[in-house]
């Protein structure tokens, strides 16, 4: 029969987001935003024009055209003053007052508002845009790599970042030295020490030292996740390992990347899950399926959503009109026009 509701579907909201930091964004039928907790109690009244998820105990909210930050009790801890505002990550948030800068958890400016665009810090550096070009700053605001590039990727993992100059992509290190030729039509960021590249109509991967692990022979590459990278030949998808070996040959119509050791793939118009050897763990029987989160994956049959565990057991039957992923042990779901809350029985 499947698991029961943690909070029955009695919550009357236009929209309910997934849980983050133990709180979920809700939008009233009047179009205002607030937050509920995992018991379905409205902790923050629906009075804001916009709201972002809670991260590190704070959420950006919009009131009277400006953004500020509230804490999880709903108290405004950084007054509304920003034209735009994003989440806190490692104690800083990127915000805009005409131009972009960074603030700390007390609302104090840590890097002045002087950039046309900015990103978050990865590997100690953040990408910034000034006068139409991108460069990188350190956490003290020093421009360690002067803005000179048309586009950039973050120093997501490792010591190289992909950057674009004169219409072509190459790589720089954290000192700003250009370590490869600018000969690629596109380059992604490094993930697990690997990076996807495009040259002409073909794609490949290189490792963190710039060594090619495959030739430019694929019609698409993406990212490595849990040791395997996605590849496409024609309209078929598969996976390679970090030595360039096709461990799961391209044969799937569509697929995700691996998460929690399993991956949902589409074959003969149905979705099922495979392990890292390509063995079918969950039969191809779903109209759609998502990644695993906290041991459960959302699946869809005949327009209704439910959740399966890693053995393929339907823990929550396919009866929901909409549902979020499980985060922090809870998910929200909609049934017959009302929202309720599910609790992960595996947690």
What's the pLDDT tens digit per position in 46-84?
999 999 999 999 999 999 999 999 999 999 999 999 999
Instruction: Kindly report the average pLDDT of the chain as a whole number.
Output: 97
Regarding beta strands 76-82 and 42-48, do their DSSP bridges make them parallel or antiparallel, or are they unpaired? unpaired
pLDDT at site 347: 87
Q: Please return the burial class of 140, using the count of CB atoms within 10 Å of its CB with bins 0-12, 13-18 and 19+.
A: exposed
The residue to which tokens 């809870």 are assigned: 330
**How many CA within 13 A on the CB side of residue 88?**
24
The model's pTM = 0.94
Q: Assess contact for 126 and 86: CB atoms under 8 A.
A: no
Percent of the chain surpassing pLDDT 90 = 98
Nearest to 255 by CA among 240, 272, 241: 272
The distance of Cα 220 from the centroid of its chain, to the nearest Å, equals 20
**In the block, residue with structure tokens 């956490």:** 139
The confidence band for 1, taking pLDDT boundaries of 50, 70 and 90, is: low
Beta bridge partners of 233: 236
Model confidence at 158, pLDDT cuts 50, 70, 90, reads: confident
How many other C-beta atoms lie within 10 A of the C-beta of residue 283? 11
Distance (Å, whole) CA 327 – CA 306: 15
254, β-bridge pairs: 266
């Amino acid at each position: 029969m499947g698991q029961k509701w943690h909070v029955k579907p009695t919550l009357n909201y236009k929209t309910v987001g997934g849980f983050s930091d133990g709180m979920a964004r809700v939008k009233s039928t009047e179009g205002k935003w607030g937050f509920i907790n995992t018991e379905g109690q409205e902790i923050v009244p629906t009075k804001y024009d916009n709201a972002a998820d809670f991260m590190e105990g704070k959420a950006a909210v919009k009131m009277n055209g400006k953004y500020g930050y509230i804490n999880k009790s709903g108290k405004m801890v950084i007054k509304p003053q920003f034209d735009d505002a994003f989440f806190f990550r490692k104690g800083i948030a990127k915000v805009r007052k005409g131009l972009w800068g960074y603030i700390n958890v007390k609302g104090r400016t840590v890097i002045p508002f002087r950039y046309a665009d900015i990103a978050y810090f990865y590997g100690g550096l953040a990408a910034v845009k000034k006068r139409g070009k991108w460069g990188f700053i350190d956490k003290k605001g020093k421009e360690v790599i002067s803005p000179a590039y048309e586009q950039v990727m973050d120093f997501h993992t490792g010591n190289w970042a992909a950057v674009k100059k004169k219409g072509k992509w190459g790589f720089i290190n954290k000192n700003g030295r250009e370590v490869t030729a600018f000969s690629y039509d596109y380059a992604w960021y490094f993930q697990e020490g690997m990076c996807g590249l495009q040259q002409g109509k073909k794609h490949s991967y290189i490792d963190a030292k710039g060594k090619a692990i495959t030739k430019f022979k694929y019609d698409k590459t993406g990212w490595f996740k849990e040791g395997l990278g996605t590849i496409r030949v024609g309209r078929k998808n598969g996976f390679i390992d970090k030595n360039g070996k096709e461990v799961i040959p391209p044969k799937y119509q569509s697929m995700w990347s691996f998460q929690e050791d399993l991956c949902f793939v589409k074959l003969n118009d149905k979705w099922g899950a495979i392990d890292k050897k390509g063995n079918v763990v969950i039969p191809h029987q779903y109209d759609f399926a998502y990644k695993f989160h906290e041991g459960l994956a959302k699946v869809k049959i005949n327009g209704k959503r439910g959740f399966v565990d890693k053995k393929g057991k339907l823990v929550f039957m396919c009866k929901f009109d909409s549902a979020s992923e499980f985060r922090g042990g809870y998910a929200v779901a909609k049934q017959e026009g009302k929202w309720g809350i599910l609790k992960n029985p595996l947690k």
